[in-house]
C-alpha cells in the first residue's frame, strides 16, 4: 500500500517520514514551508500527492512560533491554511492527537497507525437499560420563570428551585465492546443536555466518566449513578439553581 505523508515542519528527532518509511512505500509532500508562513503555494502539490495514494496521513498543528512563552495564539483554529489543506486533501476518518510528542514522536505515530500500540480501544455503545425519567411537582413547590426561544417551552410551570426538591439518585448501565485488533482503554463520558429552547444556558454538561479496560473481542459493562438535580439542573441569570420541567435523558 502506498501512503502519502503530508506534514508541516516539526522539530523531532525521529521524523514521521523516517518512521513510516520502515513500514512500506511512501509518497511525500510538504504542506507548508513552515507553520508561520501565510502562504498556500504548497497546498496544490500536497493535494496532488494525496490523490496518488491509497491512504493519506496529514501532520498538522502548532509549533513554538505560534504558541509559546510570550507568544499567544490569535484563536483556537488551526493556523493559517491548514484547514484549507485538510478539506482539499482527504475525507478525515480518524484523528490522532499527540500534543508535543518529543524526540521519538515519529516512531510513536507509526506504531499507533500500524497497530503496534493501541492507545485506546474502538468502543461501541450497545444499549442503555433505562432511557429517561420524569420529575413531578406538588402544590408546595413554586414555579420559576425561564426564557425560551420561539415558545418552545410549553408547560405552564417551566422550572422550580432545586432547594425545593428532594432529588433521588438514578443509575443506568451499558456495555462497551472492543472493535479493534488489540486491547485498549476507553474513557466513557456521559453528558446531559437541557431541554431545547432555553435561553442562556449550557449546551451540555458532563455528568460522569469512567476509564474502562477492554480486551480485544470482548465487552465490559459500565455503570453510572447520578443525582437528578445536579445532573439536569440549570442556573438562571440571577444565580438560582433550577430544574426545568420535562422528560430527561442522557447520552454518551
Residue 9 has a pLDDT of 46
205-214 and 184-192 beta bridge pairing: antiparallel
What are the backbone dihedrals phi and psi of residue 109, each rounded to the nearest 5 degrees, phi first? Answer: -55, -50
DSSP string, 60-82: ----TTTSBTTB--SSSSPSTTH
Share of the chain above pLDDT 90, in %: 0
- Cα angle, residue 47 at apex, residues 43 and 51 outer, rounded to 5°: 175
d(CA 232, CA 248): 8
Q: How many residues does the chain have?
A: 252
d(CA 19, CA 105): 9
Indicate the helix (H) or strand (E) that contains 228.
helix 228-232
pLDDT band at 221 (very low <50, low <70, confident <90, very high): confident
In this predicted structure, the answer to whether residue 204 has a pLDDT above a threshold of 70 is yes
Residue 180 has a pLDDT of 65
pLDDT band at 134 (very low <50, low <70, confident <90, very high): low
In this predicted structure, the answer to whether residue 78 has a pLDDT above a threshold of 70 is yes
Residue 128 has a pLDDT of 44
Out of 1-5, 40-44, 45-49, the most confident range is 45-49
In this predicted structure, the answer to whether residue 121 has a pLDDT above a threshold of 70 is no
User: What's the half-sphere exposure (Cβ side, CA atoms, 13 Å) at 191?
Assistant: 8
Among residues 112, 243, 248, the alpha carbon closest in space to that of 180 is found at 112
In this predicted structure, the answer to whether residue 29 has a pLDDT above a threshold of 80 is yes
Among residues 135, 206, 127, 126, the alpha carbon closest in space to that of 170 is found at 135
CA–centroid distance for 247 within its chain: 26
In this predicted structure, the answer to whether residue 172 has a pLDDT above a threshold of 70 is yes
CA–centroid distance for 249 within its chain: 20
Residue 1 has a pLDDT of 46
Lowest mean pLDDT among 35-49, 137-151, 195-209: 137-151
**3-113: CATH topology:** Rossmann fold (3.40.50)
Contact 123, 179 (CB under 8 A): yes
d(CA 156, CA 219): 45
The CATH architecture of the domain made up of 123-248 is: Sandwich (2.60)
pLDDT band at 10 (very low <50, low <70, confident <90, very high): very low
Domain ranges of the chain: 3-113, 123-248
What is the average pLDDT across 172-185? 75
Amino acid at each position: 500500500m502506498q501512503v502519502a505523508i503530508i506534514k508541516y515542519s516539526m522539530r523531532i528527532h525521529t521524523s514521521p517520514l523516517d518512521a513510516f518509511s520502515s513500514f512500506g512505500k511512501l509518497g511525500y509532500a510538504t504542506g507548508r514551508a513552515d507553520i508561520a508562513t501565510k502562504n498556500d503555494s504548497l497546498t496544490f502539490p500536497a493535494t496532488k500527492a494525496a490523490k496518488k495514494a491509497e491512504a493519506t496521513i496529514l501532520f498538522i498543528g502548532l509549533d513554538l512560533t505560534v504558541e509559546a512563552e510570550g507568544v499567544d495564539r490569535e484563536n483556537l483554529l488551526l493556523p493559517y491554511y491548514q484547514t484549507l489543506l485538510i478539506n482539499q486533501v482527504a475525507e478525515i476518518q480518524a484523528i490522532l492527537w499527540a500534543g508535543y510528542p518529543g524526540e521519538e514522536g515519529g516512531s510513536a505515530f507509526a506504531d499507533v497507525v500500524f497497530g503496534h500500540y493501541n492507545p485506546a480501544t474502538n468502543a461501541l455503545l450497545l444499549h442503555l437499560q433505562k432511557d429517561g425519567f420524569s420529575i413531578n411537582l406538588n402544590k408546595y413547590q413554586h414555579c420559576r420563570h425561564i426564557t425560551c426561544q420561539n415558545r418552545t417551552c410549553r408547560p405552564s410551570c417551566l422550572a422550580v428551585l432545586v432547594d425545593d426538591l428532594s432529588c433521588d439518585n438514578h443509575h443506568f448501565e451499558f456495555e462497551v465492546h472492543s472493535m479493534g485488533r488489540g486491547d485498549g482503554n476507553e474513557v466513557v463520558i456521559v453528558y446531559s443536555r437541557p431541554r431545547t429552547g432555553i435561553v442562556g444556558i449550557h449546551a451540555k454538561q458532563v455528568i460522569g466518566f469512567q476509564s474502562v479496560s477492554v480486551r480485544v473481542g470482548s465487552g465490559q459493562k459500565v455503570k453510572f449513578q447520578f443525582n437528578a438535580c445536579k445532573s439536569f439542573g440549570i442556573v438562571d441569570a440571577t444565580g438560582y439553581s433550577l430544574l426545568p420541567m420535562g422528560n430527561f435523558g442522557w447520552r454518551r
